[in-house]
Amino acid sequence: MTGESTAWMARSNQVFIGTYSRFPAVMVEGRGCVLRDVAGREYLDFLAGIAVCALGHCHPAVTRAICEQAGRLVHVSNLFHTVPQTELAELLVANSFADRVFFANSGAEANEAAIKLARKYSAAGRYEIISLAGSFHGRTLATVAATGQSKFHQGFEPLPAGFPHAPFGDLAALESMITPRTCAILCEPLQGESGVRPLVREYLVGIRELCDRYDLLLIFDEVQTGMGRTGTLFAYEQQGVVPDILTTAKALANGLPIGAMLTSEKIAAAFTPGSHASTFGGNPVAAAAAVATLRVLLADGFLAEVVAKGSYFAEQLNALAGRHPRYATGARGSGLLQALILTEAGISRGQEMVNRMFEQGVLINFAGNAVLRFVPPLVVSRAEIDACITALDRMLGGLSD
Ligand SMILES: *Cc1c(COP(=O)(O)O)cnc(C)c1O
């Protein structure tokens, strides 16, 4: 590591609240799937800013849209209409089940909006939103309460009331938790943070049926799975299960902060002027970046390539697991949200694996204390996938006992 890197890291460590354990790198530039740090070292990026930079770093169409919009109008608040925001909402409506959109600035905020809408839409006294064990919905107090992992709750109690968690994968248990106070079920079609765990189709269909039978809203958190990550614009499209409310964020503007909540005309009517708001939500620059991003995602053949590259990656990961049975059992995931499932021996060394990959110049992470997660830019090439596999092979082969 160069003096310049260490100097910046030392300065950083002097001024930040210690909420993050960061890789020892000071990133300064990115292009496609490659990042470069202040010392000039290059990294193959299979994290993409946590599934955010779907078109890769500094995609020319997105950069152009940002620059043009920033030269014209940066912010006016939602006291006015703006062109990019309307274009973006139209694109989202045209390409989903939804009729109506609300813009926020992050995934957690989009989920907050969904929680508030579900409560406002439902009859008085119906406020409980059941979510699933292992889920991740954000870091605000309500979304932390909805998150089904106790490690995110500790020290922040009392949490907002009305967020029971059902065991993962158990429809009967979920049904037994529905009460006259329940208004919605909230889940990710595939749990990202807790280890790339897909909800199988029958389970999702069963959840939809429970919502219909008990008159509950179904909220899909597609903050991570949305925007083409799994090979369709939204993951729900592949399952044939349509939610009542959907949230998305991460990749929506390829790196600028924005979140969206989508819903039907009927449910949207529960929000009237003053019900909910955001000063920055749908900011023109972020919206212009999102419009440019969506146009690329929706261009002919783009998502089909995500599916093809995802299958190729999964095949390679399965073959890799076959070569390293001590540490890995196989792959799971959807599209370009893929994971290498680790054995007990592998799990105990998961963070070490990530660090060793970093030393080789490949960026990945250890999700849910269970898997190595790969969320490369959707523009990743097969050669870059091969390079990641080669690095994994070398890393797993080099782990000493
Ligand atoms: C990342 C994530 C969130 C939180 O998004 P932020 O933008 O960090 O607030 C919520 N839900 C899911 C499924 C996520 O992956």
Give yes or no for residue 397 having a pLDDT over 70. yes
CATH number of the domain to which 146 belongs: 3.40.640.10
Sign of CA dihedral 219, 109, 54, 262: positive
Give yes or no for residue 117 having a pLDDT over 70. yes
Please give the number of the atom of ligand 1 that sits closest to the Cα of 110: 9
357 lines ligand 1 (CB under 6 A): no
Distance 400 CA to ligand 1 centre (A): 35
Query: What tokens were used for 262?
Result: 């989508």
Report which DSSP code applies to 401.
-
Name the domain count of the chain.
Answer: 2
223 lines ligand 1 (CB under 6 A): yes
Co-location of 166 and 194 in the same domain: yes
Q: Kindly report, residue by residue over 2-16, the tens digit of the pLDDT.
A: 789 999 999 999 999
Residue 342 belongs to what domain range?
3-58+301-398
In a domain, 65, yes or no: no
249 lines ligand 1 (CB under 6 A): yes
Nearby residues of 338 by Cβ (< 8 Å), 6 or more positions away:
196, 310, 313, 314, 317, 331, 332, 373, 374, 375
pLDDT of residue 401: 67
Co-location of 123 and 244 in the same domain: yes
Please give the number of the atom of ligand 1 that sits closest to the Cα of 111: 10
In a domain, 63, yes or no: no
DSSP string, 117-159: HHHHHSPTT--EEEEEBT----SSHHHHHHSB-GGGTTTSPSP
Co-location of 134 and 223 in the same domain: yes
Q: Kindly report, residue by residue over 30-89, the tens digit of the pLDDT.
A: 999 999 999 999 999 999 999 999 999 999 999 999 999 999 999 999 999 999 999 999
Among 297, 323, 349, the domain boundary falls at: 297
Among 263, 279, 297, the domain boundary falls at: 297
The end-to-end CA distance of the chain, in Å, is 27
Q: What is the mean pLDDT of residues 141-159?
A: 98
Co-location of 185 and 197 in the same domain: yes
In a domain, 64, yes or no: no
Co-location of 41 and 77 in the same domain: no
CATH number of the domain to which 26 belongs: 3.90.1150.10
Q: Kindly report, residue by residue over 179-189, the tens digit of the pLDDT.
A: 999 999 999 99
Co-location of 102 and 118 in the same domain: yes
CA dist 85 and 284 (Å) reads 6
Please give the number of the atom of ligand 1 that sits closest to the Cα of 259: 7
- Model confidence, pTM: 0.98
What would you report as the CA-atom Rg of the chain, rounded to the nearest whole angstrom?
A: 21
Distance 392 CA to ligand 1 centre (A): 27
In a domain, 285, yes or no: yes
Q: What is the mean pLDDT of residues 344-358?
A: 98
Co-location of 111 and 196 in the same domain: yes
Angle 67-65-305 from CA coordinates, rounded to 5°: 135
